[in-house]
Amino acid sequence: MHLSIGSPPVDIYGSVDTGSDLVWTQCEPCPQSQCFRQEASLFDPKKSSTYNSISCFSFQCVIAGTNCSEGDCIYSLAYGRGLHGSFSSGNIATETLTFGSTSGKPLEMPKIIFGCGHNNSESPNTPSNQTGTIGLGPGSSSLISQMATSIAGKFSYCLPHEGSSTINFGGIVAGAGVASTPLIIRDHYYLTLEAISVGNQRLEFVSGGKYFIDAGNILLILVFSPELPEVTIHFKGADVKLSPSNIFQNISDDLMCSAFRGGDANTIYGNIMQMNFLIGYDIEQRTVSFKSTHCANN
């Protein structure tokens, strides 16, 4: 996601993540050994007239749920596990964020809580233009929570298999073919999974499973599969029919990746299964809506 930070505004590109809250970007000072490589220059808070550091005793530090070091409010975050894990730590501050808009006039949001990262590591497949993470989770420090009144608690995105698309704040997903399911808001966004159909076989979840929906997570396991079955995810009140590209990813002529993985941890509805669906969150009405869409055109 592209937006700008500071005054004068500096472009940053963050990984959209509905599974975490804080917005952070790499900041000066950050030795080469403590930062991942990025195409753009690091954001320098000393050059911004709207940058304000946060003390340990401020309400912003409490909202961000962070720690203190020598009177400064700091954060430390870890994402994923093992070799594909990433992390960021640094100072909590407030800044002006600038977004593009449908009117063509940039929209400024002042005093947004964000993380100024001074020690950061990203996963091996991080795009070269990425500078950090845009947290869209339900926590108080997330971008969505801080924008809540101006966007009426609504946002939507459409993830393409290739190319780019637009994230929308304030609009709703409507029209023919929309399926909506209740949104359970706790530490993350949860949906109720009732069943999964593979071809004509339907697997019921008797007590209803809680599915953690995360646009920033990819779950894969290598398998060989010569057939592509029709798979439907049955959420409470919403049947989401997946295409083969939501289920398998081609690795070579005779090898594919399955987007399903077993485990004992939280069940996650990752971003591969979300591709080519317009997905709208309504925090006030507590619903998530799905609409099959060719996202490269949105």
Each residue's pLDDT tens digit, 23-70: 999 999 988 888 888 888 899 999 999 999 998 888 888 887 678 887
SS (H, E, C) the chain: CEEEECCCCEEEEEEEECCCCCCEEEECCCCHHHCCCCCCCCECHHHCCCCEECECCCHHHHHHCCEEECCEEEEEEEECCHHHCEEEEEEEEEEEEEECCCCCCCEEEEEEEEEEEEEEECCCCCCCCCCEEEECCCCCCCHHHHCHHHHCCEEEEECCCCCCCCCEECCCCCCCCCEEEECEECCCEEEEEEEEEECCEEEEEEEEEEEEECCCCCCCEEECCCCCCCEEEEECCEEEEECHHHHEEEEECCEEEECCCCCCCCEEECHHHHCCEEEEEECCCCEEEEEECCHHHC
Distance CA 195, CA 202 (A): 7
> What is the reported pLDDT for 163?
83
Q: Is residue 158 part of a domain?
A: no
Among 104, 122, 146, the domain-final residue is 146
Tell whether 134 and 17 lie within a shared domain: yes
Among 97, 124, 146, the domain-final residue is 146
Each residue's pLDDT tens digit, 61-102: 888 767 888 788 999 988 876 545 688 999 999 999 999 888
Q: Is residue 172 part of a domain?
A: no
Strands ordered across the beta sheet of 255-258: 221-223, 255-258, 248-252
Residue scoring higher pLDDT (238 or 32): 238
Contact present, 118 and 30 (Cβ < 8 Å): yes
Tell whether 99 and 52 lie within a shared domain: yes
Q: Is residue 167 part of a domain?
A: no
Q: Is residue 152 part of a domain?
A: no
Greatest mean pLDDT among 110-124, 146-160, 277-291 lies in 277-291
Q: How confident is the model at residue 148 (pLDDT cuts 50, 70, 90)?
A: confident
One DSSP character per residue, 131-189 reads -EEEE-SSSTTSHHHHTHHHHTTEEEEE--SSS----EES----STT-EEEE-EESSSE
Residue 249 domain boundaries: 179-297
Of the candidates 90, 95, 87, the one whose C-alpha atom is nearest the C-alpha of residue 29 is: 90
Annotated catalytic residue: which of 44, 214, 253, 254?
214
Distance CA 156, CA 281 (A): 6
17 is catalytic: yes
Q: Is residue 156 part of a domain?
A: no
Tokens representing residue 176 in the block: 């023919």
Tell whether 200 and 280 lie within a shared domain: yes
C-alpha separations of 45 from 5, 95, 114 in Å: 10, 9, 12
264 is catalytic: no
Among 95, 126, 146, the domain-final residue is 146
Tell whether 142 and 48 lie within a shared domain: yes
Distance CA 291, CA 235 (A): 14
Tell whether 38 and 99 lie within a shared domain: yes
Q: Is pLDDT of 149 > 60?
A: yes
Q: Is residue 8 part of a domain?
A: yes
Tell whether 10 and 142 lie within a shared domain: yes
Tell whether 112 and 222 lie within a shared domain: no
Tell whether 130 and 218 lie within a shared domain: no
Q: Is residue 164 part of a domain?
A: no
Q: Is residue 201 part of a domain?
A: yes
Q: Is pLDDT of 264 > 80?
A: no
Q: Confirm whether pTM is higher than 0.85.
A: yes
Per-residue b or e along 42-53, where b marks 16 or more CB atoms closer than 10 Å to that residue's CB: bbebeebebbee
Greatest mean pLDDT among 10-19, 30-39, 158-167, 212-221 lies in 10-19
Tell whether 49 and 102 lie within a shared domain: yes
> What is the reported pLDDT for 214?
75
Tell whether 138 and 196 lie within a shared domain: no
Tell whether 131 and 207 lie within a shared domain: no
Annotated catalytic residue: which of 11, 17, 254, 264?
17
Tell whether 187 and 94 lie within a shared domain: no
Instruction: Look at the chain and report how many structural domains it folds into.
Output: 2
We report the CATH number of the domain holding residue 246 as: 2.40.70.10
